[in-house]
Amino acid sequence: MIFFWAFVVGGIICVIGQILMDVFKLTPAHTLTTFVVFGAILDGLGLYEPLIDFAGAGATVPITSFGNSLVHGAMAEAEEHGLIGVVTGMFEVTSSGISAAIIFGVIGALLFKPKG
């Protein structure tokens, strides 16, 4: 069942993105930035975690989860060390996405030649 909800929730998030791009004429960069900020706000309100429990990868794969895990890391550390923890814990949870992007970016640049 989780597979079905992952498909539906992920699809709906992408449709919202498409509407932002087509109806409100935002560039993809603006759309993605809006999504990340929105994900961070949702997690601040405590709404993103239930969504992950409900939809699994439907909530963790869209870029909104990036905002969610930034807030998550910051909050986990903040509970231990107070306000300083907000800065030190920021990338605790998100590290995999960014490090993967950097590592595979460099590997990709080594392996592939630009097309066109």
Stretch 4-43 residues interacting with other proteins (CB under 8 A): 6-15, 17-23, 28-29, 31-33, 35-37, 39-41, 43
- As measured in angstroms, the least distance from the Cβ of 55 to other proteins is 8
101 near other proteins, judged by CB under 8 A: yes
70 near other proteins, judged by CB under 8 A: yes
19: left (phi over 0), alpha (psi -120 to 50) or beta: alpha
Q: Indicate the DSSP class of residue 1.
A: -
- As measured in angstroms, the least distance from the Cβ of 48 to other proteins is 11
Would you tell me how many other CB atoms lie within 10 Å of the CB of residue 44? Answer: 14
- As measured in angstroms, the least distance from the Cβ of 88 to other proteins is 11
113: left (phi over 0), alpha (psi -120 to 50) or beta: beta
